[in-house]
Amino acid sequence: RGRGADELIIEEVFGGRLYTGPEFVKYNLTLRAKIKSSPPFMKSDFDTMCKGNSYSTTIHTINSLIVKVAKLTVVEPVYRGSANGVLPQPFWEQNAEGSRGGVDGAFMSTTKNPDVAKSYAGGSEAGGTPMVMEMEQGMVDRGAAIEWLSQYPHEVEVVFNPLTCIELRKARTDGNMIMLDMSLSVNLLSPTIEKVIAKLKASSLNLLDLFMLDFQANGVQKSDTILDVLHGCRRRLSDHPGTWFNDAANFKAATSEALEAREEVFKRMLHGGLQPTYLKAFAVLATTAIDSRQLRNLAAHDQLKPRDEVLARRDKYFLWSRGVVTEVDNGKVGVRVGLEQLTDLPPTKALIVREAGVGALMRMAAAVGNGPLVDALIKEGVGVLVADAMANTPLHLAAAAGHAHVCRALLAQGADATVANQGSQTASDLARTNKHLAVMRLFNPTLSDNEFTVEACAASPRLVAAAAGDVVMLSEAGAKDEGPRTALMIASRAAKIEVVEALLRTASDGLVNAQSASGCTALFLAAETGDEHITRLLLRHRANVMLVTSDGSTPMHGSSSGGHVECVIALIEARADVDPANNAGCTPLMSSAEYGHNQVASLEP
């Protein structure tokens, strides 16, 4: 206590006392037998001697004693003697890093008195090799001097905690005895018993720290008063002893309090009007922490109404201009731009501009792909057409980032993929520029997208099972396909290889090459999706590479337009024609070039 060290508890003293007697054999055997690489005899000895008892509590208390007492140990050499000592090969051969040694998985007993170590080493039987290790301690790498509580104090024992690393520096002889100079690296991560008991407390406090770090990483200042609720929660939980958290009800209450504190931060953000400094943190971290009443009030501020300033454009041939709303009637907007009055504009051509507030939050949530937050904002009436100064709407930002699920939700609320921003880029243009195929197909559905809708793929239990990749459900749904769409087509399009493999085990050429109402085959759908494994699997089952869809496209068209290099290579290896033209006169090369897939365009048959 006088030297500022942690105080021992009575359980640690009892544990240390037990270790210095015969019981140490059981404790160390328990630790070593648990190591996967330990020899079979050691595990057998553990079963015989310990009878399944792992001595967990005692071992924890001994370890805790060592951690505390080691801080007070005087730095001096310690010794360990071994009769018939044989060290493993890694002690004698250098590894790739030039070191020799190993890690002791159990407690390691040493002595300050070299004569004690030599007496242990001298007990070897005929033919044995007595061995003494001399180990240097240091300011950090120290064991616990425990002669004051030992059953054998004359041994002046110093014990090290499990996972101490021992490195061989030099070997020499002293008469008939081998002397080994060793250096030590102790396990600095060993916890005290208080920390073991308080693990759940640490978990609760770490959760709050993580919440605060998340807010700070996304723009909220550490000193911002909006985080006071989290700081206060941490102080309250810190006041509880570690044992309080070990009660399941208390731990649950602590976790709930932490989560409620986090949601309170979000509510305070909303109450403050969602200033720009909070937008990113809210968009990245929030999901359902929505104060509905406050949110609806903020959303109302972003609704089009007379005297609002907006960005307006007459049609796609005119640039965006600043104007003032004169009327809003039945979904049509009147805007005065300078001396000109524009009438009957759709909301997509009269955009409210907000750099803060919930409209800006909608844009940020769309940009980071936070689907649950976008859905929650839509539910509370937040508009999807609130733009930034460059006329970028939430749809522009979601499309540019490739968040197809967010784009789908925004389109359902009236967003328009054909509306251009100040840079004359539509959401569709941004998706194409950034090669986000799923978003591009959402805006411009392919032939297969129009036929294989969600509803069509759920037309029967067999098709539902194929789409879900559920082989068991598929076998229970019957073996016959109904209608032009087969389970093999659905599974190939959904990239469910387990279902494809199951279906191909009994499939005929007719099933493999069956065509849907629009002429799609399983191979076409797999190639269009970009699944190389399914594409090659179908090719091994004699899938026809030249069957065309109703618009004249082959599997090569599908894989080329999607930029699926590996599928294109697989089709080339199967001798597919690389230059067929579809009904529009477009070849696979033209498709890949149109969508900017240079790797595909550069492939040669």
Alpha helices in 71-176 (DSSP H): 114-121
The verdict on 105 and 217 lying in the same domain is: no
Specify whether the CB–CB gap between 559 and 526 falls below 8 A. no
The verdict on 316 and 245 lying in the same domain is: no
126, pLDDT greater than 60:
no
Residue 372 lies in a domain: no
Residue 223 lies in a domain: yes
The verdict on 178 and 212 lying in the same domain is: no
Q: Which long-range contacts (CB under 8 A, 24 or more apart) does 236-243 make?
A: 237/201, 237/204, 237/205, 237/208, 238/205, 240/201, 241/198, 241/201, 242/194, 242/197, 242/198, 242/199, 242/200, 242/201, 243/197, 243/198
Q: What order do you get walking across the sheet with 309-312 strand by strand?
A: 340-345, 332-337, 321-329, 309-312, 350-352
Residue 51 lies in a domain: yes
Residue where a domain stops, chosen among 144, 159, 185: 185
CA distances 594 to 432, 587, 600, Å, are 10, 11, 11
Residue 376 lies in a domain: no
Region 325-344: mean pLDDT is: 90
| pLDDT-derived band at 581, boundaries 50, 70, 90 | very high
The verdict on 89 and 152 lying in the same domain is: yes
| pLDDT-derived band at 383, boundaries 50, 70, 90 | confident
| pLDDT-derived band at 116, boundaries 50, 70, 90 | very high
Residue where a domain stops, chosen among 293, 321, 343: 343
| pLDDT-derived band at 562, boundaries 50, 70, 90 | confident
Nearest to 524 by CA among 539, 504, 508: 539
CATH number at residue 53: 3.90.176.10
In one-letter notation, the amino acid at residue 461 is: P
**Summary mean pLDDT of the chain:** 86
The verdict on 494 and 596 lying in the same domain is: yes
Q: Which residue has the higher pLDDT, 28 or 359?
A: 28
Q: Which domain holds residue 242?
A: 198-271
Residue where a domain stops, chosen among 160, 185, 210: 185
Residue 561 lies in a domain: yes
Residue 206 lies in a domain: yes
pLDDT given for residue 31 in this prediction:
92
Residue 249 lies in a domain: yes
The verdict on 165 and 230 lying in the same domain is: no
The verdict on 102 and 156 lying in the same domain is: yes
The verdict on 261 and 167 lying in the same domain is: no
The verdict on 595 and 524 lying in the same domain is: yes
| pLDDT-derived band at 271, boundaries 50, 70, 90 | low
Picking from 130-134, 464-468, 479-483, 556-560, which range would have the lowest pLDDT averaged per residue?
479-483
Residue 13, class by beta-carbon neighbours within 10 Å (0-12 exposed, 13-18 middle, 19+ buried)? Answer: middle
272, pLDDT greater than 60:
no
CATH number at residue 459: 1.25.40.20
- Total of domains in the chain: 4
Residue 226 lies in a domain: yes
The verdict on 46 and 141 lying in the same domain is: yes
The verdict on 162 and 253 lying in the same domain is: no
The verdict on 40 and 141 lying in the same domain is: yes
pLDDT given for residue 275 in this prediction:
58
For the question of whether the overall pTM of this predicted structure is more than 0.75, the answer is no
